[in-house]
Structure 1
């Protein structure tokens, strides 16, 4: 028993003594990892902000006889450990070992790092602690500057990004169009932003949208705000108008040269290109005048003058002005009262003299009637003889001719008129006219003959047409043709050139 016990103890002692030898043999046949550089780890991504990804890396050399693999492990107090990808290193080679660490908060962070291996010996100096100062997240914003939409160029958008001081950042930029409840992606691209402002200008074509939305999204980093901006847009509106402002002269005569002032206005949101203005007679369709126009900017106007060489006949003259361009057509119509020359009488009617003469004639007739009552039988015998001359006198014109002593022009005055008369322009000479008594007149007329003459005179006065107005224009009482009879010449006798009717032109309503 003692011999067996002693043998077992001896075997154990031999194994214990040989273990270092076996260990040296294993170490010599495995990988041995040491630092290939100055030691420690390198950190990529500083200065750091909350949410940033930092890259920890270390250059490792395998000085062993066999291949081996290593990893980089990172950890923070009260946090999870992060282990990088496994890297295989051949004997005598060096390779970089990395691990990515996302900063969970701002402030001072101590990161513990260590090179680990499952099949190789790792040097004791391949571990340590790195202290990192972490700033708050960078602020990112976007601002739409302007938009313009024309038929020629489509929709253009100008905006700028604003990045707070810190690192350059990679972002994704999206421009979307909104139409009702639909959101249409118009453009999307990536960009690298430097701290500060950066301007962008995009051409977006002609989409059917009512507003634009610009969104900038951080790529592999975080921001403390959402970067987006929106603006309403509208498709270009082509709208213009034309208006005749004035004519010179205002009431032209047929054949006159007439200056027409026209205003064209661009009331839309898009410029109106070069075109032309035309003045057209609606009754004949003839183009009276035409003129070219230059481009009109949006919300602008231009006044053009066109000269019609020969004013058309008619009263009124219906005129149409047209503004024609590649983008639009605008029209304006107007009726112009033409100036029609009418014949007027400048001779003032001596109403007082006529009334006095009529009253005198009536008084004389009454006196003669009283004086002839005693000779009734004699008058009765001559009655038939006197009727014929009286009727003859009634049928004759109520006026007689007198000659102007200056220019010998024949003028018409009432038979019973006695007083001053004035020759028509341009003579306008005044002269005296005496009452003319014919041999056929019989002072012994009967009362019924005088009454018949007076009745016919009243009927003649009632048949005279009269037109009144408070301005230089009035309507013919027969055919409603518009005529021009100046107020300064009224009362006057006018002759309508259309229906040839004469009427009295008076002032008033």
Structure 2
């Protein structure tokens, strides 16, 4: 008989404790099969474990609930491995008293001081952490017998969630009615938790037999069926109601939508914004709606209102007036609820509404020929060619930096015009420039016109030389007197003739001193012949075409016998023509075919171009 030793190696993890094994020989030709199977049991020993001994030594004895109660915890390790964990102390109602961290090596004893509020009942401290040997004494306790508060939840025995249904971001309020059935005053609070998220209410104090509501509110951060753990908390009373759980169905966050459907420009109301709002939510939601204009980061909100949104879309419009901007905006802000990253903002481009003020000073005066120092009326037309009403404005007439007149105008609607007349004292000067000025929205608009002062016109008719005629008549009378004397005294005629001749010479000499002789000058514009005094130097104006030009006095000549007085030549017939630029009426000779310059607007034109 041969004997063979077999060694079996396995990588299986064997559990601690008794293990049953079985070995079978296979693939053999053996007449006796009874000894081909072998069964036996082995025991798997535990790993090296610490062996702990926990003791609790009281440091004081409280006489009232809530007083500090101190103990010295002593933890000894006489096992085969080190240990690290916590020692937690709690009361019989499940409320916590104290907790401390311990690390104990083999053959070492560690002490720690713990303290917490005292209650009536038993305080139990236990080691919590890695596995210890079964021989360990890891629990210690101490008891107090004092009068204390005892709290229980009434009206259903558990807190109730309020203010639902809920979406993510909404706030839930947990409410419980708690009664003190103990023999002493005490404080109590309510705590709810979702995993590591814990929310605790403020503590309330209840005397024996008193009851009150305790509540805690918090926001909901995740959707679905969420299980919340709740419990009462008291440092100076016993908790008769055990902790429990409550499940909340929380919907996804609400979705807010907004759009600008249209922006119209009304002649009376200005820009009108048509908006559309909606919300996807399990409940109705309040929002603040603001409508304005401007640019990103610098919006001007013209209107604000509070609206209640539900499952149905809400539409409306806002009147912004005439807006000088290129964009409008609608901002929707949730009230006491959350939407994404904050308020919702939508924008739309628009055509700016601006007033365009145009100014025209008419080149016409009343009277037509103004004279310095006299009241003269000027006409100004102010129009608005823009898309918005103008602001009230002031129109001023200015000449050489001096304000001649001013008038205040009301707002002018788009497309309208205002014609106003202003009376001024006509300024001194031969050529007057006047500006009509208006400042609207810090923009200055000017219209200019130039006017010529009235100049005395030269006479074109014949002036009778009354002084010369008088002297001639006087000389004639003298001659008649001499002739009569000569007839009465014929004898002395020979001697008297020289004297008579001398007298006649004197009279003739006297009659030779007459008025200044007139000379003829031609109008440079229409060739009209004018007669002006020969010693006149200055400006004259043609009575037909009203052209203004200068003449110089004629050079003085030696006295000579006065020519016989000539009758003035008959003036040719005149006709009226109109200036093609300003329609000013001018009178020119009917046979005139030259060019004429308008004295009002200075436009030169031929008779063929006249109106």
Report the TM range for the smaller structure's normalisation.
Answer: 0.3 to 0.5
* Structure having the higher Rg: 2
TM-score normalised according to structure 1 size: 0.42
Greater share of residues in helix: 1
> Relative contact order (alpha carbons < 8 A, sep ≥ 6): 1 or 2 greater?
1
